[in-house]
Amino acid sequence: MNARFCLLIAPLALAAAVVLGAFGAHALKGRLAAEMLAIYHTAVEYHFWHALGLLGVGALMSRSPDDSALKWVAWLLIAGLLLFSGSLYVLALTGATWLGAVAPLGGVAFIAAWLWLAWWAWQRRASEL
């Protein structure tokens, strides 16, 4: 994991969030039950926020390229995107309820990423940020 990889994956994830959001708003409206559409919307919303977070982590990594803590944060955000948003997308589209058990793992990855980033910032002097 490096800054270049983050700064490549984040905009691709953001573009995918736009496409998936538009797909949900236009193609799925009226085709999915309101509950499934709400689940899909939650997936898109978390997808956007955490892809933006990954973009920010990539920017931080470009200033601290050898920082292993930032690499962990990036991997956790990517894992959260795949596990949380990914499982909710599939759940909404297929109704496979067992995927509801996967989403919390992604949520834990998101929480761990943000806490790890807070720890990273706590360890730095203001001049290093």
Q: How confident is the model over 36-47, as pLDDT tens digits? A: 999 999 999 999
Q: What is the pLDDT of residues 36-85, one digit of tens each?
A: 999 999 999 999 999 999 999 999 999 988 889 999 999 999 999 999 99
Q: Could you write out the DSSP letters of every residue in 49-73?
A: HHHHHHHHHHHHHHHSTT-HHHHHH
The pTM score is 0.92
Chain-centre distance for alpha carbon 100: 17
What value does the mean pLDDT take over residues 112-128?
88
For residues 120 and 129, what is the distance between their CA atoms, to the nearest angstrom?
A: 10
- Cβ 53 vs Cβ 113: under 8 Å: yes
φ, ψ of residue 25 to 5 degrees: the values are -70, -30
